[in-house]
Amino acid sequence: MNVGQKIIIGGRTAEVIKVRKTAPVAVVRFGDGSTDLHWFGAEPSAPAQDLHPAPKTRSEGSPGTDTQHVAEVVPIRSGDEEPSVTCGVCRKSWTGHRPEHCTVCHETFGGTWTGDKHRVGSYSDPGDPRRCLDPAEAGLRLTSRGLWARPLDRDTLPAER
């Protein structure tokens, strides 16, 4: 993968604008000007490390200081944009910090609670192994953003009159 190369992602043409040397990932720009990260080759099998831990609270920091520890890396997007994420296996995409994507059934949920709700069974009982329920069977509804959520989540409620 080279800078300037044109590639097609999910039916959309994008231009490679930066290639990371330490991982098989590139920053691409679509025709509408939006940017995204694109994995090429094998994705890492180990969970990603949190390179930007939350700032320490006053009780966790050094005694008598008000110093906040902030990330030293500037994101490639402005603060107004939500990050776009694409699963390297099923190629589904979603935006935002809150959604949770199941790596077993490849459904995308509005958050951790809804993701956990669709997983049933026991970790220790072989007669009742962990498995995914159909999200509708778990009592979840599909939102306007294409995420499975609780029926009372804001974007599944009818419009106010």
Q: State pLDDT tens for residues 80-93.
A: 566 778 888 888 88
pLDDT higher than threshold 60 for residue 25: yes
The pLDDT score that the predictor gives to residue 123 is 82
pLDDT higher than threshold 50 for residue 110: yes
Tokens for 68, please give them: 């906040």
> From the CA atom positions of the chain, what is the Rg in Å?
20
Q: Are 55 and 44 in contact (CB under 8 A)?
A: no
In terms of residue numbers, what domain contains 7?
A: 1-42
Number of domains in the chain: 2
Between CA 51 and CA 119 the distance in angstroms is: 28
Q: What is the average per-residue pLDDT within 138-156?
A: 78
Looking up residue 20, the CATH number of its domain turns out to be 2.30.30
Q: Is residue 11 part of a domain?
A: yes
Residue at 94: amino acid letter: W
The pTM for the full model equals 0.43
Q: State pLDDT tens for residues 58-84.
A: 444 444 444 333 333 444 555 556 677
Q: Is residue 50 part of a domain?
A: no
